[in-house]
């Protein structure tokens, strides 16, 4: 904006008057630059620079404010990155998206982060259940690249999901097999125990006394004889 309006001289010269200009001309240059600067900043920044008497003073104040904001932003995003931790059972894809977003903000703050450091830091954000994977990956002879680690994490997550499904199916099949075996065993046990039974009345195997046909027939005959005997006694009387 200052360049377009050719009002940049007070800033370019860092507030030092040009020898080719007299005091009045220099003051005019400065007075033209100050409103342009004030119109170009937000209200919050305007409050901080409006007391400055020169364009160069305003410019220096803005530099200090932006430096403070930049430092605060650096601290915020570094804390965000350091505190980033994947929860047990969380989606790896979701975690990678969050990690990449935070890393992008850190890089936007002009903070250096090479590819190997980025890959190593990603492994540090994994939960305890991924310790074996992290150790094996970091101990590999090849230099870590972020793309390789990211791909390996997604593949490992897929393998774990497939293993869980496989174990679940195997357990279900084993449970059905064991249940079927128990049913068959109970059936054979009942069959064997029935064959081993021995009737205490007739001495034969395979039934109890109450199920014995001989005992039932004998009981009927005894009952009939008893009835006949009682009838004869009543007729004599």
Tell me: the pLDDT tens digits for 221-237?
776 655 555 555 444 44
What is the Cα–Cα distance from 9 to 11, expressed in whole angstroms?
A: 5
**Mean pLDDT lowest among 5-19, 22-36, 83-97, 222-236:** 222-236
Whether residue 134 contacts residue 161, with contact meaning beta carbons closer than 8 Å, is answered with no
pLDDT of residue 40: 75
Provide the token pair at 3.
Answer: 């360049």
Which residues partner with 205 through β-bridges? Answer: 198
Q: pLDDT grade, residue 124 (50/70/90)?
A: very high
pLDDT at 50 over 80: no
Neighbours of 235 (CB within 10 A): 7
pLDDT at 101 over 60: yes
What is the Cα–Cα distance from 28 to 111, expressed in whole angstroms?
A: 41
What is the Cα–Cα distance from 234 to 232, expressed in whole angstroms?
A: 5
CA dihedral 71, 73, 75, 78 (to 10 degrees): -130
- With tokens 């496989």, the residue in question is 166
Which percentage of the chain shows pLDDT scores above 90?
24
pLDDT, tens digit (0-9, with 9 covering 90-100), for 10-22 = 677 777 778 888 8
Query: Which tops the pLDDT comparison, 220 or 120?
Result: 120
What is the Cα–Cα distance from 150 to 131, expressed in whole angstroms?
A: 16
* Strand boundaries in the chain, DSSP class E: none
CA dihedral 41, 47, 49, 51 (to 10 degrees): 140
pLDDT at 78 over 80: yes
What is the Cα–Cα distance from 51 to 96, expressed in whole angstroms?
A: 47
Using CA of residue 202, residue 208, residue 209, residue 211, what is the dihedral sign? negative
Q: What is the mean pLDDT of residues 143-159?
A: 92
- Supply the mean pLDDT for the chain: 77
pLDDT at 211 over 50: yes
Whether residue 111 contacts residue 75, with contact meaning beta carbons closer than 8 Å, is answered with no
């Amino acid at each position: 904006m200052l360049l377009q309006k050719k009002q940049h001289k007070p800033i370019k010269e860092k507030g030092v008057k040009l020898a080719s200009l007299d005091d009045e001309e220099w003051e005019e240059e400065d007075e033209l630059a100050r409103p342009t600067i004030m119109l170009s900043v937000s209200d919050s920044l305007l409050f901080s620079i409006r007391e400055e008497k020169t364009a160069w003073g305003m410019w220096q104040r803005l530099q200090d404010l932006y430096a403070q904001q930049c430092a605060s932003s650096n601290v915020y995003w570094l804390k965000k990155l350091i505190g980033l931790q994947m929860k047990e059972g969380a989606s790896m894809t979701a975690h990678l998206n969050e990690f990449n977003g935070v890393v992008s903000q850190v890089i936007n703050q002009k903070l250096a982060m090479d590819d190997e450091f980025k890959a190593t830091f990603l492994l540090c954000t994994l939960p305890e259940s991924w310790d074996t994977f992290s150790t094996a990956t970091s101990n590999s002879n090849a230099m870590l690249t972020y793309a390789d680690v990211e791909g390996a994490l997604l593949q490992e997550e897929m393998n774990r999901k497939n293993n869980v499904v496989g174990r679940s199916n195997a357990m279900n099949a084993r449970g059905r097999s064991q249940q079927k075996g128990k049913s068959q065993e109970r059936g054979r046990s009942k069959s064997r125990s029935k064959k081993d039974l021995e009737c205490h009345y007739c001495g034969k195997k395979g039934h109890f006394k109450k199920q014995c046909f001989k005992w039932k027939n004998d009981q009927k005959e005894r009952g009939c004889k008893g009835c006949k005997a009682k009838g004869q006694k009543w007729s004599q009387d």
